Amino acid sequence: MFAIFLHESMNPFHQTVTSFPTVIYTILLIICAIYWLVAVMGLVEIDILDFDLDGDIDAADSTSLQEGIAGILHRIGLAGVPLTVVLTIIACIGWLLCYYTTYFIRPLLPDVTLIRLALGLVTFVVATYITVLTTAQILKPIRSLFQRLDYDETKYILGQTVVVRSSIVNRDRGEAELNDGGAGLLLNVRATGDEQFTKGQEVVVIEQLEDQNLFRVVAKAEFGSTE
């Protein structure tokens, strides 16, 4: 099946995909392919990269960093869709642009390393710019679909029992895991008032703080007493 890739006629292909700048997108494409293979087996979630950056890090620093990244993605039109999907589309488009540009233009240039590097750099910058613009347009019609999926997921999460994953959960920081029968969902959670929970404790999700992408939790015993 793979004999075609070992044929002598494939040498130009090998040279192109492993040369700069195509090799950058080749590596990204391979990583994306491995990720989706693992995701199909149910070992990881599609939003594995859409995490909050705090955990046990200072909440203020984490929020600033997260807001900065989110702001950049929003400005270039790549927000509202799982980062894994965004990276996969970017990898595919970027690889095609770099591959065909290099394949057709490089043979026309003299075999001078400096010239080839200059061509590679220009190709990478232009291809990446076009790739981001194209990806933003592709995401427009599917963004609403993911927003509906997020809404349904939130309704499912509320009222569920989760296990604290970080060393501590308080009003400023914390993470907890929801066992969904698959790879599990890692949630950014906060306690109410002066409550504190430690790693391994079971708590119940009672509220979503949508503007902060957080969930409010209470002790399992406290939740049961209010039912």
Q: Which residue, among 83, 70, 181, 204, has the nearest Cα to 189 in the 3D structure?
A: 204
pLDDT per residue as tens digits for the range 155-172? 667 888 999 998 889 988
The answer to whether 70 and 79 have CB atoms below 8 angstroms apart is yes
Provide the mean pLDDT of the chain: 79
Domain ranges of the chain: 3-155, 161-226
pLDDT per residue as tens digits for the range 207-219? 887 666 788 999 8
pLDDT per residue as tens digits for the range 87-138? 999 999 999 999 999 999 988 888 888 998 999 999 999 999 999 999 999 9
**Residue 9 pLDDT > 70, yes or no?**
no
pTM exceeds cut of 0.75: no
CA 100 from centre of chain: 27
CATH architecture of the domain covering 161-226? Beta Barrel (2.40)
The answer to whether 123 and 46 have CB atoms below 8 angstroms apart is no
